[in-house]
Amino acid sequence: MYDGDDIDLLYVLSSGGWSTCLLFVNRQIYELDISHSFGNPIGDLIEATVLMMKGDSTVELTWWNEPGGNRWRMTRNPAKRHLMKVVVTEFPSHYSFGDEVAGEIMLVEFEIKINQFAKLVYYQMKKLAALLKEKSFEKNRSGDFPYQAFFKLESFFGV
């Protein structure tokens, strides 16, 4: 498990109900393609982050692709409660939304300060909120951004 601070995240909201998340861990890039057809993956990421900031011990979220997807598991370190372990797995393409998922393959596992992870998520979401104010950007992306969840996350940073 990687426990350094060479970790970053880029969230790209594409048109037509798709996103891409690029996760950078220890000089490796993990590309996660995400469909918005089965839920709100942005809202799920924000809510999971908020729950960890509030003190939850474990949070899990699933991002679906068409088909297959990724699962994120975030677990607070019981000895060092400001840290969490993040495990991102991938499940095979023959699983579709609603299927019981098995046979997950670990993509990456790392430990990070919860506050650092929250900042990575917050600033990507702040970027998206700003871009969605542009009519040309918002045109094919309306309804994809969970403003209320974003405001909850934003409140942790005194904004």
CATH of the domain at 22: 3.30.2450
pLDDT digits (tens, 9 = 90+) for 90-139: 987 665 555 566 778 999 999 999 999 999 999 999 999 999 999 999 88
With respect to residue 75, please indicate whether it lies within any of the assigned structural domains. yes
pLDDT digits (tens, 9 = 90+) for 11-54: 999 988 899 999 999 999 999 999 998 889 999 999 999 999 99
In angstroms, rounded to a whole number, what is the distance separating the alpha carbons of residues 153 and 53? Answer: 9
Burial grade of 78 (CB within 10 A; 0-12, 13-18, 19 or more): exposed
With respect to residue 50, please indicate whether it lies within any of the assigned structural domains. yes
Domain extent at residue 18: 7-157
- Domain tally, the chain: 1
With respect to residue 125, please indicate whether it lies within any of the assigned structural domains. yes
Structure confidence at residue 141 (pLDDT): 83
In angstroms, rounded to a whole number, what is the distance separating the alpha carbons of residues 108 and 1? Answer: 8
pLDDT at 158 over 70: yes
Structure confidence at residue 68 (pLDDT): 83
Burial grade of 73 (CB within 10 A; 0-12, 13-18, 19 or more): middle
With respect to residue 67, please indicate whether it lies within any of the assigned structural domains. yes
With respect to residue 137, please indicate whether it lies within any of the assigned structural domains. yes
Task: Give pTM, 2 decimals.
Answer: 0.91
H helices of 55-98, in order, are none
With respect to residue 2, please indicate whether it lies within any of the assigned structural domains. no
With respect to residue 1, please indicate whether it lies within any of the assigned structural domains. no
Residues with Cβ within 8 Å of 54's Cβ and at least 6 positions away in sequence, in order, are none
Residue 111 host element (H or E): strand 105-113
pLDDT at 6 over 60: yes
pLDDT digits (tens, 9 = 90+) for 45-90: 999 999 999 999 999 999 988 878 999 999 999 999 999 999 999 9
